[in-house]
Amino acid sequence: MDQRPSSPPGGPAAPDEVVTVYDAVGSVTGTAPRSRVYAEGLWHASAGVLLRSMDGSRVYVHRRSPDKAVFGGMHDCLAGGVVDPGESPGETAVRELAEELGVTGIELSPIARVRWDGRWDGKPLRCHLFAFEGRYDGPIVHQASEIVDGWWWSDAELRAHLADPSWAFVPDTRALLADYFA
């Protein structure tokens, strides 16, 4: 999932995107710049899509760009990002799937939701996570600034990697899909 500060440490300054802020139980409380959300460990929300082949036998897995400030270079099986002001998690999922993988016009179904109170780079990272599933067999077009590689795996291949704690996989997606792949 796309959870990166807008101005990565050591990277070029970028406009500070405003994101939706939540409370610990999942109610929207307002908005704040993404940099403040990450610096102060404010609750926010993220939504992502688990993309399956049309027959359901394969899941699309990708490696995040190493330039991403949060979870850079790690693997993920959700195309996603933070919920913007005025968006529902479902709208975020549709937007992020189009941006990151170039996939549009498919039906999405909710599959998981968790409250994740994690850490990244020595700071709290608190997020309400929403996962959706879609089926697709068409072309994948990576957003170059977000994704450097991608491939299809069977559930068994993905489960085996998820069971390996040394495999570099984004921790919030691992927590979000813990019951899904059990």
| Annotated binding-site residue numbers for Mg(2+) | 96, 100
List binding-site positions: 96, 100
**Phi, psi angles (nearest 5°) of residue 143:** -80, 110
Reduce the DSSP state of residue 50 to 3 states and report it.
strand
Count Cα neighbours of 59 within 13 Å in the Cβ-side half-sphere.
21
Gap between the Cα atoms of 154 and 58, Å rounded: 4
Gap between the Cα atoms of 18 and 1, Å rounded: 17
Reduce the DSSP state of residue 14 to 3 states and report it.
coil
Q: Is 13 exposed, middle or buried (0-12, 13-18, 19+ CB in 10 A)?
A: exposed
**Phi, psi angles (nearest 5°) of residue 97:** -60, -40
Closest CA to 133 of 32, 31, 39, 56: 56
Q: Token pair of 54, please?
A: 């049309």
Q: Token pair of 176, please?
A: 């979000």
